Amino acid sequence: MSPPLLRSRWVEFPEGVEELPANSLAPGFAAAGVCAGIKRSGKEDVGLLLCRSPQPASAAFFTANAAAAAPVMVSRKRCALERLRAVVVNSGCANAATGQPGVADAEAMQAKGAAVLGLAVEEVAVCSTGTIGDRLPLPKVLAGIEEAARSLGGDAATFQRAIETTDAFPKQVAVACQLEGRQVVVTAQCKGAGMISPRFATMLCFLETDAAIEPALFSELVGRAVERSFGRISVDGQLSTNDTVVAIASGASGVVVAAGSPAAERFSSLLDAVLLQLALLVVKDGEGSKRIGRVVVEAESGGEAEAVARAVANSPLVKAALYGGDPNWGRILQAAGQALAGSGERPISVAIEGVEVCRAGEAVAVPQPGLEEAVSGEEVEYLVRVGEGNGGYAELYFSDLSHTYVTINAEYRT
């Protein structure tokens, strides 16, 4: 399967998956996005997502940032996260660093969403994205929610636009897959291009499916897929104040995904692929990004592998070399050595696109032209091995560091 934006060799969809039109919504869902006047551009900025099933399963994951935004606090504290039926969302203002008044605003958004949809408050999650430090224009937002409720339909196009901020392109996936001989649909909408523009806050992802699945299993499978996708990317190493993933399963297909079944395994692979694809689109949208890197680390322990992978993926030197198409393995070695600082001298090996360039701390003679060609593509893979490398594993996907990144982040004003 190769939709236009996902030709990555790193995303493996299960056999037989069929692509649907990008704006599709899984059966049992309705959505809308409206122009409420929050964004100066006048584009859609309030969105509503509704699951029409009275007994859906849901799963939600939030940023670990200790300066979490008000909507994250409210969704965490006032929602039944395994029984969500709707999401109310705005872009253009993150409602972050707004203190108790911001919390009251987020609660008002949630209450309005529940009222217009006829739901209980705890069934409605609330999300915001946009500038940090500004209060929401609440009357506009509430009017927008009312208008969105009147506009609900079976298409995700306006909803997708209502969650975007500085995104250079929409990030959507819509696929169908056979489970137990019947069709199950998974659709998802995502926004984010790193914690990028001044005072803009990051990543939101909404996933809908018509599978019938228990909340505990759904949460486990979505959680694992989030960890393998959004948990494994770095645009600039920045964790935002507003990151949220909400997934809802309507059950409308009647196909039951039971724990331990082959269907669960296949469904899990499908969730993994959908979220990894969206995560890679976020990396690809990393402000002027030319290339995506993937670093795979084999080390003496899981913690060590994780530290080395993060050091490599977040090194501005490694990222600038990736941008320049420079097979600069000295920087990989340096970043890995930094992550291992204090543990004595360690034998570190590095391979780029399968070619070993450094073995146990010593350079390997490799013809430069071949290496330069290997790092000139859209995706570059690095392998780092510490010692024997058989005690721990980690991988991360990361964007490069471009002139455009600096321009956007230094010169842009909100």
Enumerate residues 95-124 that contact its own copies by CB under 8 A: 96-102
Please answer whether residues 204 and 244 qualify as being in contact, where contact means their C-beta atoms are separated by less than 8 angstroms: yes
Residue 377 interacts with its own copies (CB under 8 A): yes or no = no
Rounded to a whole number of angstroms, the distance between the first and last alpha carbons of the chain is: 39
Enumerate residues 35-74 that contact its own copies by CB under 8 A: 63-68, 73
Min dist CB 68 to its own copies, Å, is 6
Min dist CB 396 to its own copies, Å, is 16
Enumerate residues 187-226 that contact its own copies by CB under 8 A: 195-196, 198-199, 201
Of 3 and 198, CB closest to its own copies:
198
Angle at 380 between CA 240 and CA 61, to 5 degrees: 25
Listed in sequence order, the residues at least 6 apart from 63 whose beta carbon sits closer than 8 Å to its beta carbon are 72, 239, 240, 241, 242, 243, 244
Min dist CB 412 to its own copies, Å, is 8
Min dist CB 289 to its own copies, Å, is 12
Min dist CB 151 to its own copies, Å, is 32
Enumerate residues 329-368 that contact its own copies by CB under 8 A: 329-331, 333-346, 348, 358, 360-363
Of 42 and 66, CB closest to its own copies:
66
Total binding residues toward its own copies, as defined by CB under 8 A? 72
Cα–Cα distance measured from residue 228 to residue 210, given in angstroms and rounded to the nearest whole number: 22
Closest CA to 63 of 275, 241, 299, 199: 241
Enumerate residues 261-320 that contact its own copies by CB under 8 A: 314-317, 320
Identity (one letter) of the amino acid at 138? L
Please answer whether residues 92 and 165 qualify as being in contact, where contact means their C-beta atoms are separated by less than 8 angstroms: yes
Residue 256, phi then psi, degrees to nearest 5: -90, 125
Closest CA to 55 of 169, 213, 181: 213
Strand 392-399 and strand 292-299: the pairing is antiparallel
Of 343 and 376, CB closest to its own copies:
343
Closest CA to 106 of 66, 73, 144: 73
Cα–Cα distance measured from residue 255 to residue 263, given in angstroms and rounded to the nearest whole number: 9
- Binding pattern for the stretch 237-266 against its own copies, x by CB under 8 A and - elsewhere: xxxxx-------------------------
Q: Among 105-113, 160-168, 293-301, 402-410, which window interacts with its own copies (CB under 8 A)?
A: 402-410
Residue 70, phi then psi, degrees to nearest 5: -55, -45
Q: Among 26-34, 36-44, 136-144, 403-411, which window interacts with its own copies (CB under 8 A)?
A: 403-411
Strand 233-234 and strand 392-399: the pairing is parallel
Kindly state the tokens that stand for 22: 């990008």
Of 31 and 350, CB closest to its own copies:
350
Residue 413 interacts with its own copies (CB under 8 A): yes or no = yes
Identified catalytic residue from 165, 166, 202, 244? 202
DSSP 230: G
Min dist CB 25 to its own copies, Å, is 32
Enumerate residues 72-91 that contact its own copies by CB under 8 A: 73
Listed in sequence order, the residues at least 6 apart from 100 whose beta carbon sits closer than 8 Å to its beta carbon are none
Enumerate residues 134-173 that contact its own copies by CB under 8 A: 134
Q: Among 22-30, 111-119, 128-136, 207-215, which window interacts with its own copies (CB under 8 A)?
A: 128-136
Of 143 and 239, CB closest to its own copies:
239
Q: Is 202 a catalytic residue?
A: yes
Q: Which single residue is written with the structure tokens 């331990």?
A: 260
Min dist CB 297 to its own copies, Å, is 14
Please answer whether residues 277 and 172 qualify as being in contact, where contact means their C-beta atoms are separated by less than 8 angstroms: no
Of 255 and 352, CB closest to its own copies:
352
Of 37 and 330, CB closest to its own copies:
330
Please answer whether residues 6 and 274 qualify as being in contact, where contact means their C-beta atoms are separated by less than 8 angstroms: no
Residues forming the active site: 202
